[in-house]
Structure 1
Amino acid sequence: MTTRTFRIMVRGVFDGLSEEQRAELLAAAPEHDVLHAAFTREGHLSYDLTARTAFTFRFLDEGEAEEDILEATERAEQAAQSWLTARGYGFKNLRSQAEDLSQAPLGKRRRRSAGTTG
Structure 2
Amino acid sequence: MSTRIFRVTVRGVFADLTPEQRAELLSRAADHDVLRAAFTPEGHLSYDLAARSAFTFRFQDSGEAEEDILEATERAEEAAKTWLGERGYGYKNLRSSAEDLSQAPLGKRQRRAAARQYT
TM-score over 0.5 for the pair:
yes
The residue number in structure 2 matching 1:79 is 79
Task: Supply the AA of the counterpart residue of 1:41.
Answer: P
For 1:54 and 1:25, how far apart are their aligned partners in 2?
Answer: 12
Q: CA deviation at 1:18?
A: 0.1
The residue number in structure 2 matching 1:52 is 52
For 2:101 and 2:70, how far apart are their aligned partners in 1?
Answer: 14
The residue number in structure 1 matching 2:107 is 107
CA RMSD for the aligned pairs? 0.7
For 2:33 and 2:112, how far apart are their aligned partners in 1?
Answer: 34
Segments of structure 2 that go 5 or more residues without pairing to the other structure are: none
Moved over 3 A (4+): none
For 2:48 and 2:99, how far apart are their aligned partners in 1?
Answer: 24
Q: CA deviation at 1:20?
A: 0.1
The residue number in structure 2 matching 1:38 is 38
Q: CA deviation at 1:34?
A: 0.2
Q: CA deviation at 1:92?
A: 0.4
Segments of structure 1 that go 5 or more residues without pairing to the other structure are: none
Identity of matched residues, %: 75
After superposition, what is the alpha-carbon deviation per residue over 1:13-54, rounded to whole angstroms, capped at 9, x for unaligned? 000000000000000000000000000000000000011000
| Secondary structure of the structure 2 residue equivalent to 1:114 | helix
After superposition, what is the alpha-carbon deviation per residue over 1:52-89, rounded to whole angstroms, capped at 9, x for unaligned? 00000000000000000000000000000000000000
Aligned residues: 116
TM-score relative to the length of structure 2: 0.96
The residue number in structure 1 matching 2:89 is 89
TM-score relative to the length of structure 1: 0.97
Task: Supply the AA of the counterpart residue of 1:71.
Answer: E
For 2:74 and 2:55, how far apart are their aligned partners in 1?
Answer: 18
